[in-house]
Amino acid sequence: MATEAARRAAARATGELAAWSAGLRWEEVPEAVADRLRLVLVDTVAVTVAGARSPEQRALVGQWPTADGPAPLVGAGRTGTADEAARLNGTAGVRLELDEGHKHAAGHPMTHAAHAVLAAAAEADVDGPALFAAALAGYEVAARFGRATRLREGMHPHGNWGVAGAAAGAARVLGLSGAATAAAIDTAAGLAVAGPFACALDGNPVRDAWVGAGNANGLAAARMAAAGLARTTGTAADTLGGLLGTSFDADGLAAGTGRRWEVTGNYFKRHACCSFTHPAVDAVLAVVGRHPELAADPVRRVAEVHVETHALAGGLDRTQWPTRLAAMFSIPFAVAAALLRGEVGPEASDPDALRDERLRALAGRVGVRVRPELTARLPAERAARVRVVTDRAEHVEEVPNPVGDADHRPMDAAAVRAKARSLVGAPTARAITDLVARLETAAAVRPVLRGLAEL
């Protein structure tokens, strides 16, 4: 367990970060930061709509008893309570492994905060600037908690440090003071999920539910703080720094608030698979781009693919996929799908696609090896080196980060909109862009948010 000094440090830093979060005003946010958040919201909504359309999510929503309420259930054609919406929409947001992320936080800040914020905003019917300030506060707090936390080996980042962002965002919607926001964040640290990474590798969909739980728990923590039933005692030092993690850097938690904006350092995902697989996919696609003849008949032309990667991705080497999720956490799957399709979209992990003998044949030729020199480049770089052996030659490609990372071929507004069109179709993509724009200036957001249910 944490020392008393560690708890005091966590409580103090949480208070400082919460004071900044509670005082955040949308009209005072630098325009470059505001633009980035707008783009992140468009991407997050599009990814959630696509996830809501998946058979897995439709089955879950069909079995979930929902009461009438003010908050939209994305893509479900109906509304529910804020707590139900936060949970179900949070789960939808990660169904297809397309949610944006942050490499220094080692996880996905926006998807942990957005659905609690949107649900709380629909319930409170706040104005647009309040919603956007809350979404930004949620992102920044979640990312900073992710930076501060070093999870234990074998722990998945879904549902633990991100709950702090959900609580901060929901507290901002509720208009809580800095002290009450700190209590909400501290309480959220006590509601963290202990999720083993093995569940993702095994294809157990409980992994998706952790983000839904994180959003719901963050909203619950804010409600507890609003009721005066929360305290700031440095809980994160024990949960994130001791039980689920090996350390919690309280000293850096609130450093540079208002000057260093985490949202500007995010990444957008262009492949529907774990971000640790992306560098290998990008490298293989680069090889195919130079040698298009490989795409014509990859099963015949490609003899072997040797992937060298960092330690975080070393376990993603399975060639058997009982579910979509298991496939999305497999480098052999992602590389094979990229060779066959020229991309790794959601349809690549549909049940029929996973039974494709060509896919399995190619995946069986993909080897994964951890290289210490690539591990040493973490977290600034999540590199991969790929050697593609064909019937005529060998081709080597190395990439420092996935395409879409803020530090490597970042996706601009046009690219994010194109991603949305590919996922949900042009009419829905336009509707999402329009909805986000209308939300920002809305005097009351509930009627606008209702449109999420119809997408």
Contact 8, 234 (CB under 8 A): yes
Q: Is residue 218 part of a domain?
A: yes
Same domain, 182 and 37: yes
**Structural domain tally of the chain?**
2
Same domain, 302 and 436: no
Same domain, 79 and 58: yes
Give residue 227's pLDDT. 98
Report the interhelical angle of 109-124 vs 206-226 (nearest 10°): 50
- Give the bridge partners for 184, in sequence order: none
Phi and psi of 267, rounded to 5°?
A: -130, 150
Same domain, 228 and 363: no
Same domain, 145 and 8: yes
Same domain, 57 and 146: yes
Ranges of the chain with pLDDT below 50: none
Q: Is residue 405 part of a domain?
A: no
Same domain, 257 and 292: no
Contact 167, 207 (CB under 8 A): no
Q: Is residue 409 part of a domain?
A: no
Type and span of the H or E element at 376: none
Nearest to 390 by CA among 283, 319, 295: 295
CATH number of the domain that residue 381 is part of = 3.30.1330.120
Q: Is residue 83 part of a domain?
A: yes
Q: Measured between alpha carbons, how far is 132 from 439 in angstroms, rounded to an integer?
A: 8
Same domain, 68 and 181: yes
Range of the domain at 340: 275-399
Q: Is residue 408 part of a domain?
A: no
pTM of the model: 0.97
Q: Is residue 385 part of a domain?
A: yes
CATH number of the domain that residue 443 is part of = 1.10.4100.10
Same domain, 424 and 302: no
Same domain, 311 and 442: no
Query: Long-range contact list for 357-360, CB < 8 A, 24+ apart?
Result: 358/298, 358/299, 359/333, 360/319, 360/336
Nearest to 334 by CA among 267, 322, 346, 3: 346
Q: Measured between alpha carbons, how far is 216 from 195 in angstroms, rounded to an integer?
A: 16
Same domain, 248 and 293: no
Same domain, 55 and 184: yes
Give residue-wise pLDDT tens across range 366-425: 999 999 999 999 999 999 999 999 988 999 999 999 999 999 999 999 999 999 999 999
Two structure tokens written together for 310: 């960092």
Q: Measuring CA to CA, how many Å separate 391 from each of 283, 287, 304, 426?
A: 19, 14, 9, 40
Can you list the alpha helix ranges (DSSP code H) found in 152-205? 163-173, 178-189, 198-202
Give residue 295's pLDDT. 92
List strand residue ranges (DSSP E) for 284-400, in order. 302-309, 366-370, 384-390, 394-399
Q: Is residue 404 part of a domain?
A: no
Q: Is residue 299 part of a domain?
A: yes
